[in-house]
Structure 1
């Protein structure tokens, strides 16, 4: 498995505590950048700008990715452009939450 796939697998283990679906399937991860020297950049959003679990989610992403072999630095950038919507969820997430 390459580093990108390992990162995606780890992101599948991070959940918003209020929603029983991981952040990747929810469509909250907009971009994964891997640079030389093991630097990883994640551009992501939250289901709402005032999400009370924001700090916990970002910490979870950062600490789990830093534990990967070959990753030396992780930067998580929050964005709300474009704003998240239910349309960004995977089919699996929509099924899990009863939107299909």
Structure 2
């Protein structure tokens, strides 16, 4: 595993501390994080979505994702890219928590 891959894994784990205020679960297990990559040993790029395009918590969640990525030792720049392609759906929720949400 390369240093970039290791850091990407650390960022992914750090993002599990970001809780969606509506669903009460972390954004990784909810399937809202589409991709995490690290390049040049210090630049984290995160592709994510929200449950709906007009989600009132979008700014809060995006900022929390950026803050958690910045907290990973070695990360010097964070680029959070919000996308709705593909749109989020409950099918993206990790099976281990889907039952908790009645899915």
TM-score range relative to shorter protein: over 0.9
Are the aligned partners of 1:26 and 1:89 in contact in 2 as well (CA < 8 Å)?
Answer: yes
Who is 2:3 aligned against? none
Aligned alpha-carbon RMSD (Å): 1.0
- Unaligned residue ranges in structure 1 (runs of 5+): none
Are the aligned partners of 2:70 and 2:78 in contact in 1 as well (CA < 8 Å)?
Answer: yes
User: Is residue 41 of structure 1 aligned with residue 40 of structure 2?
Assistant: no
1:6/1:37 CA distance change after superposition, 3 Å: closer
Provide runs of 4+ in structure 1 moved above 2 Å. Answer: none
**TM-score normalised by length of structure 1:** 0.92
User: Is residue 54 of structure 1 aligned with residue 58 of structure 2?
Assistant: yes
The residue matched to 2:52 in structure 1 has which SS? Answer: coil
**TM-score normalised by length of structure 2:** 0.90
* Equivalent residue for 1:65, pick from 61, 69, 74: 69
Displacement of 1:37 in angstroms is 4.2
Q: Distance in 1 between matches of 2:35 and 2:57?
A: 20
Who is 1:30 aligned against? 34
* Equivalent residue for 1:3, pick from 4, 7, 19: 7
- Unaligned residue ranges in structure 2 (runs of 5+): 1-5
Residue by residue over 1:7-29, the C-alpha shift from the partner in whole angstroms, topping out at 9 and shown as x without a partner, is 12111110111111100000011
